[in-house]
Amino acid sequence: MRSFFCRKFILVLLLWTTLSPWIMGQQAGTVPGKGLFTMAVFDSSFEKALYKGSLDISKHHLTGLFYLKKVSENSVRVVFSNEMGMTFFDLEIKNDKLIVHSIFPSMNKSSLLKLLRSDFRLLMVPDTTVKKSKQAASDDSGSILFKIKSARGSFYYTYDKLTDRISRIRTSGAIMGKTDLQVTRDSRLQPKKIEIANPVIGLHIQMTFLGN
């Protein structure tokens, strides 16, 4: 009887040793047989970036500069202002919470702020809460598509096969908060053009890289 339980214990231990890297890898974003796929649009070297861009919502069209900055390990900041220096908004995402440093009065709406927080968090803050990832069928032979479930929600992540970098992120199942984020990279694989669309409420953001 003792030898039976001993053999059973050894078998369980062997199974755990074999499977635990796979289980932990799933949580970290590792896809079995495919290697480690990043959950971030910007790589770990990102500190700050300046983009020329526009923001459209409903019938309003705003143009200016987007300044993106990593403030700390758990905080990023987004400032959108026009060429004259007037700030449309200055937002900080810290531990997934939104801090409003300043915002143009007509944009100070809770629904819009919630959406901006969600969009820029998706763009700038890596998702470390992945619970499940499953490869899905892709219409593009040059891309790999994964359906991701995390504490943030459900998403489709599209990766370029040559670089393993994110080229697109789409929400799955969301209605009001539906987001479609697309990235075009330069020769250094840094985000050169960024487009974020929230079609349900007509929010559309476009950004073109200017410098660091």
Closest CA relative to residue 104, chosen from 79, 77, 128: 79
DSSP 107: G
Q: For position 37, what pLDDT does the model report?
A: 64
Rounded Cα distance, 106 and 99, in Å: 18
Residues 6+ apart with CB under 8 A from 95: 74, 75
| Mean residue pLDDT across the chain | 82
Is the pLDDT assigned to residue 175 strictly greater than 60? Answer: yes
Task: Grade residue 36 by pLDDT with cuts at 50, 70 and 90.
Answer: low
Question: Tokens for 105?
Answer: 């009065």
Is the pLDDT assigned to residue 68 strictly greater than 70? Answer: yes
Q: For position 179, what pLDDT does the model report?
A: 93
Rounded Cα distance, 146 and 136, in Å: 5
- Rounded to two decimals, the pTM is 0.80
Q: Which stretches does DSSP call E strand in 3-116? A: 30-31, 35-36, 48-57, 60-72, 75-81, 87-94, 97-103
**DSSP helix/strand/coil, 187:** coil
Closest CA relative to residue 80, chosen from 194, 199, 200: 194
Q: For position 174, what pLDDT does the model report?
A: 66
Task: Grade residue 89 by pLDDT with cuts at 50, 70 and 90.
Answer: very high
Give whole-number Cα distances, 118 to 5, 138, 162, in Å: 51, 25, 28
Per-domain residue ranges for the chain?
2-211
Q: For position 38, what pLDDT does the model report?
A: 73
Q: Which stretches does DSSP call E strand in the chain? A: 30-31, 35-36, 48-57, 60-72, 75-81, 87-94, 97-103, 130-136, 143-150, 153-160, 166-171, 180-185, 191-198, 203-211
Q: For position 76, what pLDDT does the model report?
A: 95
The correct answer on CATH 2.40.30 for the domain covering 2-211 is no
CB 92, CB 98: distance < 8 Å: yes
Beta-bridge mates of residue 185:
191
Is the pLDDT assigned to residue 181 strictly greater than 60? Answer: yes
CB 67, CB 87: distance < 8 Å: no
In the chain, pLDDT over 90 holds for what percent of residues? 50
pLDDT tens, 116-156? 999 999 999 988 888 888 888 888 888 999 999 988 889 99
